[in-house]
Structure 1
Amino acid sequence: MPYYLQRIIELIKRYPGVIAIGGFASGIGSFIMVDRQASLASWIAVIMLVSWVWLMLENTFTQWFSRAFKRNIPEGLLRYATQMIHQESLFFVLPFFYITTTWNSGQLVFTGILTVAGLISIIDPLYYKWVAPRRWLFMTMHTLTLFAAMLTALPIILHLTTAESFKLALGTAMLLSFPSLATSFPINSWKRGVMLVVMTLAVGGAGWLLRSWVPPATLWMTESAIATNLDNQNRTPGDDIKTLTASQMRGTGVYAYTAINAPRGLDERIYHVWRFNGQEVDRIPLDIHGGRKEGYRAWTHKQNFPGSPVGKWQVRVMTEDGQMIGVLRFEVTDDGTPAPAQ
């Protein structure tokens, strides 16, 4: 192995956190200037896709290289290159998912798994002794990383909606999971082939059913309020309230106000889903446009209520495919029970 390559590998092994810190810093920079960082997001997505093709063709390519140049590519160099890709990609997307995760929901699980994957990528004993030797686990980690990178990059690069990005990222993950499964369960009969197709479809089906657990990586609320009045001219809500009486609710209705940050050039339809004591009672569509630093301001005004509106209310802010952007909560009390001071 050339001396300078050996030195690079030794430095990376000695300071594995440097790559992760660089990835995290680039993610923070992209998050702060999300509408100006399409080029960086593009590079991350391209690197991930190319690296996946590399992993699929790794054995073929290394054999060809050895025959053509009469030299072997160092195994350590290959593994360190892949590790750097995982570190850069995971720590690039994590700032986006941290800010968009609704932490008291199932989204905690997805973001937690991404965090664990990020930690594994910088802890050599785990990465090289536990993940890398198990091909199926290694490819699963790579597929997850690619899925998260595409969710983050596609709205920025191609201005795809969150729903479109999720479908494309999930479809790609399904296609790429097939060779990973085939590695662990070799196709030596037609029954095995059918089983692998079913397992691949099951991966996609599970991803679709659990889509509400995946944060919308490039959409987040910059401001929200529940109010009984709203200044339409200035597009600002009244005081944010957490509790009101039934008569107040019926008298003026209730405004759910949200400001949603989205990448420049992105047009997206979201929904305010009103829920009463755990049951959905209304779903109101809103069209938002990306590019405004403070977020696109929009609201719904609900004036029709059940016979007795006393209880716990939620307004879930959702994408078209059911990913949750955030939740607003308030409670309605009996008129005989005065609302506490806000």
Structure 2
Amino acid sequence: MNAHWLERLNALLFRLRHVWAVGSFSLGLASYFLVERQPWLAAVLTAVLVATWLVLITENIWLRRFRGTPMEQVAQGALKLMLQGVHQEAFFFSLPFVVLQWSGGAEYFLFTGLVVAGALVSIIDPLYFRLAGHRAWYFGFHAWALFVALLVLLPLI
């Protein structure tokens, strides 16, 4: 009975995947324009980024409990959606600070371009979930989000 309910929930979420994409894109843009960039929010975002890094590192350990059950796909999908939200917040919180510190130069242009690219990948679901399918690239993307956010957040704290 429980497995049937989870299969129906998973099928419903899969059918609504396009709505998730539009919602994800809207939330990413809203976080850029609506978030007040204050020190207390920087501290919260820093703590969340470090906690999600620990979740990502220990993912295999706690997902083993769900392996072979219908909950396995739901748990992996929920983890990827949670991390996508964290990546969006990290990039879009940091982006105004990175742009405002523009100093010219090719190095800074490359750095800013990589931050913008990370922000775009985090809000474009097909790109993000293709990236999430490759574990090494996904770890690298999370490390990039963490580095950019900490570069901006630590001075604010």
- In 1, Cα distance between the equivalents of 2:52 and 2:82? 9
TM-score, normalized by length of structure 1?
A: 0.39
- Give the Cα separation in 2 of the matches to 1:103 and 1:134: 34
Q: In structure 2, list runs of 5 or more residues that go unmatched.
A: 1-5
Percent identical across equivalent pairs? 28
Do 2:91 and 2:115's aligned partners in 1 also have CA atoms closer than 8 Å?
yes
Asked if 1:143 is matched to 2:143, the reply is yes
**Alpha-carbon distance in structure 1 between the residues aligned to 2:33 and 2:61:** 35
Partner AA of 2:71 in structure 1: N
Counterpart residue identity of residue 90, structure 1: F
Q: Hey, which bits of structure 1, 4+ residues long, moved more than 4 A?
A: none
Deviation at 1:103, TM superposition (A): 2.7
Query: Is structure 2 residue 29 aligned with structure 1 residue 21?
Result: yes
- Paired residue secondary structure (1:15): helix
Q: Following the alignment from structure 1 to structure 2, what is the Cα–Cα distance between the partners of residues 26 and 52? A: 25
Structure 2 distance, partners of 1:18, 1:43, is 22
Is the Cα–Cα contact under 8 Å of residues 122 and 128 in structure 2 kept in the other structure? yes
Structure number with greater Rg is 1
Partner of 1:72: 71
The number of residues matched between the two structures is 144
- Which residue does the alignment assign to 2:104? 103
Tell me which protein shows more strand as a share of its residues: 1
1:56 matched residue in structure 2: 57
Counterpart residue type for residue 153 of structure 1: L
Higher helix share: 2
Asked if residue 83 in structure 1 is aligned to residue 84 in structure 2, the reply is yes
- What SS does structure 2 have at the residue aligned with 1:103? coil
* Residues 25 and 123, structure 2, Cα contact 8 Å, conserved in 1: yes
CA distance in 1, matches of 2:47, 2:79: 18
Which protein, 1 or 2, shows the higher relative CO under an 8 Å CA cutoff with sep ≥ 6?
2
Q: CA deviation at 1:61?
A: 1.1
Where does 1:212-227 land on structure 2 (aligned, <5 Å)? none
User: Deviation of residue 115 (structure 1)?
Assistant: 0.5
Alignment of 1:284-323 (within 5 A): none
Question: How many angstroms does 1:105 deviate by?
Answer: 4.1
Letter in 2 for 1:135: R
Query: What is the Cα deviation at residue 121 of structure 1?
Result: 1.1
Aligned-pair Cα RMSD in Å? 2.4
Correspondence list, 1:62-211, <5 A: 62-64=63-65, 66=66, 72-73=71-72, 74=74, 75-129=76-130, 131-157=131-157
Partner in structure 1 of residue 45 of structure 2: 44
**Unpaired segments ≥5 residues, structure 1:** 31-36, 158-342
